[in-house]
Every structure is written in C-alpha cells, then in structure tokens.
C-alpha cells in the first residue's frame, strides 16, 4: 500500500509546530521562575552573611490609609524592645499620613520606597517606573527624612526595566529571605503561632524578613502581623538577637546572599 508523501507533510509540520510551542512555553515558564529568584542587571539582596546575631524586619504597604493603628502598634513594640526596622511605604498611602512616616524615622527606623501606586512594574514603561520611584522619594524627603531610601518593588517583581533604572540610580534592590516567608499578606493570614514556627525553622543571622503593616488595595486584617511581631521580638531579644535597619544589616555584612 503506497502512502503519498504530501499526506505526511501536514501531520509532520503540525508536530514540529507543537514541539516549538512546547519549547517556547517551557522557556517562558522557566524564565519567569528564574526571574522570581534572580534579576538580570543591578544589585539585589535577600539576606547577608554575618557573624553577628542580627535580623532586619521590614514592613511593606503602609501606612494603612484608613487607620494607621497597625503601624503605630508596631512602632510601640519596636520601641519597647529597643529594636529598629525598615518601613517600605506606598506613596499614595504615606501621603495620607505623613505624621506616621515622621514617627517611623524619628523612632530610629528607616523609611523605604515601595512605589507610589503598588502596581506591577514588570511590563510598565521606563517613564512610568521612574515616576513611581521618584514621586515616592520626593514625598518621603518632604517629610524631613534624611536617611537612605532603599527600594523594594511591589511583590518583588522585576524584569529588565526596573533593575536597569535602579542600577543607573546606583541603588540596590532590597528583597527578602524567601525561606522566612510568613505569608502575613494572605487573607486570612496564618495564625501568629504558625508564622512564628516558620520563623523559628528558617531564620538565620542576616535574614531580611518580610511583613506587612498596610495594604495596597482592599482592607486586609493585619492584627496577626502585630501579634507575631511581638512574639518574634520577645523571643529573639531574649536569645541575644538585635533587630536592625537595612543600612545596619548591610554595614555588618561579610557577603550578600541572593
């Protein structure tokens, strides 16, 4: 029985096309996965290697636009335990409560830039990304803050444009230790005891820990964040740990861990 060559060409072409699509899709998935942990240009840090028992607590998305009580409660806890932290504020939230930004740095903490609108910056234009950074920087400075303003992208998401802009501005991208992710941003968040268990299991000297004192959109409950913050400060202060700002953490590094 003879099979015409032309009858085989279409199925073969279809198989080749499917194979190419599978390879391209796999490449895209792998690239996205790789970029969640790395970035193509510029410096970034998740934790540092250090001989000292120091940890950097960081708080994103604040102040709460409707009620800054969460941030106030966290500031009170930091003061009680003689601890310092870095607050990565959203510009549109911070402009509603400039007094909270001032209280943050007047209590010895650092104020960081978490963009103006908390939009995903991966596929935005260079002009949009630059404006998100610059407008937030400008507002933070308008409150009287004189310290270093570190930057953290919303969700830590970045591709090429954002890291390139940060590199041109000679700024390091501050991320967080992925092993100590407490998921306090979930709605509802885990119980404080569960978050502390994750912290106990994975934290190391030099870890940068991600927490949230605010929210970018709809209201999310942050009471468990306050509770776990108190539990962490109480337990680890007694263990001889010091809670420091990002600047202090970087000043005591032996090496940066990506």
Every domain of the chain and the residues it spans:
1-37, 41-257
Question: Which residues belong to the active site?
Answer: 60, 212
Q: What is the dihedral of CA 45, 126, 88, 118, to 10 degrees?
A: -120
pLDDT > 60? residue 20 = no
pLDDT > 50? residue 31 = no
208-212/54-60 β-pairing? parallel
Q: Which residues contact 15 (CB under 8 A, 6 or more apart)?
A: none
pLDDT > 70? residue 127 = yes
3-state SS assignment for residue 123: coil
- Nearest to residue 158, comparing CAs of 64, 253, 258? 258
Contact of 87 with 111, CB cutoff 8 Å: yes
- Nearest to residue 96, comparing CAs of 117, 75, 66? 66
Window from 63-67, 124-128, 153-157 with minimum mean pLDDT: 63-67
**Architecture of the domain spanning 41-257:** Alpha-Beta Barrel (3.20)
If you average pLDDT over residues 205-229, what whole number do you get? Answer: 92
Window from 132-136, 142-146, 155-159, 207-211 with minimum mean pLDDT: 155-159
pLDDT band at 3 (very low <50, low <70, confident <90, very high): low
């Amino acid at each position: 029985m003879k099979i015409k060559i032309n009858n085989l060409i279409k199925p073969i072409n279809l198989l080749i096309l499917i194979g190419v699509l599978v390879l391209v899709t796999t490449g895209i998935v792998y690239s996205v996965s790789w970029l969640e942990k790395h970035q193509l240009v510029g410096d970034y840090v998740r934790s540092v290697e250090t001989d000292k028992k120091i940890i950097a607590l960081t708080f994103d998305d604040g102040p709460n636009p409707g009620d800054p009580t969460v941030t106030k409660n966290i500031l009170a806890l930091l003061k009680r335990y003689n601890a310092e932290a870095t607050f990565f504020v959203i510009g549109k939230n911070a402009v509603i409560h400039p007094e909270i930004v001032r209280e943050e740095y007047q209590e010895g903490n650092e104020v960081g830039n978490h963009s103006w609108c908390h939009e995903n910056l991966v596929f935005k234009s260079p002009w949009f990304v630059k404006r998100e950074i610059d407008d937030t920087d400008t507002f933070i400075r308008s409150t009287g803050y004189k310290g270093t303003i570190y930057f953290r992208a919303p969700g830590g998401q970045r591709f090429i444009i954002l890291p390139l802009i940060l590199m041109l501005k000679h700024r390091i991208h501050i991320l967080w230790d992925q092993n100590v992710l407490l998921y306090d941003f979930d709605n509802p968040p885990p119980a404080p005891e569960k978050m502390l268990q994750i912290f106990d299991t994975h934290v190391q000297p030099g870890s940068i820990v991600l927490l949230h004192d605010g929210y970018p959109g709809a209201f999310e409950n942050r009471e468990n964040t306050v509770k776990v913050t108190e539990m962490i400060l109480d337990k680890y202060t007694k263990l001889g740990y010091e809670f420091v700002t990002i600047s202090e953490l970087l000043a005591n590094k032996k090496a940066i861990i990506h």
